[in-house]
Structure 1
Amino acid sequence: MDTFLSTIFTSNFLFLGIACFVAAFIDSIAGGGGLISLPAFMAAGLNPHLALGTNKLAAMFSTIGSACRFAKSKIINWDIVLKISPLSFVGAILGAKTVLLIDQKYLNPIALFLLILVLIYTLYNKKMGNINLFESVTKQSLTYGFILAFLLGFYDGFFGPGTGSFIIFGLIKIFKFDFMKASGNAKILNLASNISSVITFMYYGQIAYIYSLSIGVIMIIGATLGSSFAISKGTKFIRPIFLIVTFIVTIKMALNMWY
């Protein structure tokens, strides 16, 4: 029996390791990694709430890896993200507490509709995010940044799919970043919401630490390599990846609603 259980754990670990490495690599570039990693944890036999918490902790390590790599390249605007990221932290706590109380299905149609708008707008505006047009922070842009951080922090803690796409799109529209800078700065907001979500799931005992800590190491490697690849290739590479990831997330959410 011990040998049988050991074989099951080993096969689950190999499956999760491969799936989550790919998820972290993609997520570090354009978001959307949760589309791969969360179903992978569920396929490994974890119930939905436990899978959510376990994935959040593993993803936190992934986000740390990519955030550190972007920070080394001086892509992150610390003046902005340090001001608005606390709102992501608070929003994610509220979102994570809410998801443990009510069904996620009520948010799915709204998120799907918004993702479709993001996809259409980005496809239509071919020059959006190609050039960094950021000049300075204004009271208006900072106010919009606060709102963006809180709402997407809540969404990330509550639901998750498409968060990376929403944050990157929002940072481009509000602060006029290009895709490279938006992707790098998005990691800090993601990290803030990841940390608060993890704290909440830890409090409610919804994390399988043996999976999240071991897989988290693999995700750090995937995220570091992915962000390094993005930095070397530049905005022209990130934009198509962003569109592909957003399209896949949109289709996946639509299928979930349909079935």
Structure 2
Amino acid sequence: MDYEYTLVVLGFFAFCGGLIDAAVGGGGLVQVPALLHALPQYSLSTVFGTNKLAVLAGNLSSVLSYTKRIEIAWRLLLPTLVSAFIFALLGAFSISLVPKALMEPVVFVVLIVMAVYTFIKKDLGRVHAEIQCGAKEVLLGVFFGGLIGFYDGVFGPGSGSLLLFFFVKIFGFDFLNASASAKLVNLGTFSAALLFFIPSGNVLWAIGGVVAICNIAGSVTGVFLALRYGSGFIRVFFLILLIFLIGRMGVSMLI
């Protein structure tokens, strides 16, 4: 595959990944397979490191766009973000110690439960509840932020969707505010991953830079759609993504 053509293909999938990630999370489902296909000569660590560089750039763009238009519960989200960062870093350094063969079926079941629950509860995430930021809520944020952060560091797929569902179900956020909050927490997990990949030389800066620019463009588009069409749009998009993720994981476990 010619270098220029490779960049065009990767740019297209990065744009799509950024759009999906900005709206509901899970853009890596599009972007990572494209990188794996286009860069077969590189190790998995290098592909994942390059992907994290791009998604961090796109995610930062999403956060900046959301925070200009949506009120962020900083007292709740900052401890959650810090916890997610710390445990994502621990997860990244524990990759070789955690049996992924056991983790994948557990996440597979969790995603199915999330999809069924979201489908049945038609009013889930449509109304934004008054945000409580007491000690109980902060501790819940730290606990679940750390749990999902560790998962993101070790394994990764669907972490953004898990965060979105967490904010909707546990704190009563609507899907729009939950999506914005999930993006903020993901800044911590993506930054932690890069602290693991960059020192080991597992980032292709030239390719990652191009993919990052396209990911940012997709993120801007995704935020625009989310803000324009609101929680109802994000809910439908979220369900579609969960079905796709469940199908992909199911096939992966069978092969």
Q: How does 1:232-243 map to 2 (within 5 A)?
A: 232-243=228-239
Superposed CA deviations along residues 28-52 of structure 1, whole A, max 9, x for unmatched, are 0001101011111111123222111
Instruction: Please give the residue correspondences for 1:116-195 in structure 2 after superposition, counting only pairs within 5 Å.
Output: 116-195=112-191
Select 2:7's aligned residue among 13, 35, 38: 13
The reply on whether 1:32 has 2:26 as its aligned counterpart is yes
Distance 2:168 2:134 in 1: 15
Aligned equivalents of 1:87 and 1:192: distance in 2? Answer: 8
- Alignment partner of 2:44 out of 28, 33, 48: 48
How far is the alpha carbon of 1:143 from its aligned partner?
A: 1.3
Q: State how far apart, in whole Å, the 1-side matches of 2:58 and 2:95 are.
A: 22
Give a deviation string over 1:214-259, Cα, whole Å, max 9, x none. Answer: 2101111110111111011111111000110111011101111111
Q: Distance in 1 between matches of 2:243 and 2:141?
A: 25
Change in Cα spacing, 1:58 to 1:135, as seen in structure 2 (3 Å) is: closer
Following superposition, the deviation at residue 101 of structure 1 comes to: 5.6
SS in 2 for 1:128: coil
TM-score (normalizing by structure 2): 0.95
SS, match of residue 207 in structure 2: helix
Give 3-state SS (helix, strand or coil) of 1:126's partner: coil
- Correspondence list, 1:89-104, <5 A: 89-99=85-95, 104=100
Question: In structure 2, how many angstroms separate the alpha carbons of the residues matched to 1:185 and 1:102?
Answer: 28
> In the superposition, relative to structure 1, how do residues 170 and 102 fare at CA in structure 2: closer, same or farther (>3 Å)?
closer
Say if 2:70 and 2:177, in contact at 8 Å, map to a contact too.
Answer: no
**Cα distance in 1 for residues equivalent to 2:6 and 2:190:** 24
My pick for the range that moved more, 199-208 or 234-243, is: 199-208
What's the TM-score, normalizing by structure 1? 0.93
Q: Distance in 2 between matches of 1:35 and 1:115?
A: 14
Alignment CA distance shift 1:63-1:100 (3 Å) = farther
- C-alpha contact 1:75 1:185 (8 A) present in aligned 2: no
Q: Secondary structure at the residue paired with 2:160?
A: helix
User: Partner of 1:122: helix, strand, or coil?
Assistant: helix
CA-based RMSD of the aligned residues comes to 1.4
Deviation at 1:139, TM superposition (A): 2.1
Partner AA of 2:147 in structure 1: L
What is the alpha-carbon distance in structure 2 between the residues aligned to residue 95 and residue 12 of structure 1?
31
| 2:179 partner letter | S
Q: Which moved more, 1:128-137 or 1:63-72?
A: 128-137
Partner letter of residue 205 of structure 2? Y
Q: C-alpha distance in 2, partners of 1:209/1:97?
A: 22
Structure 1: segments with no counterpart, 5+ residues: 1-6
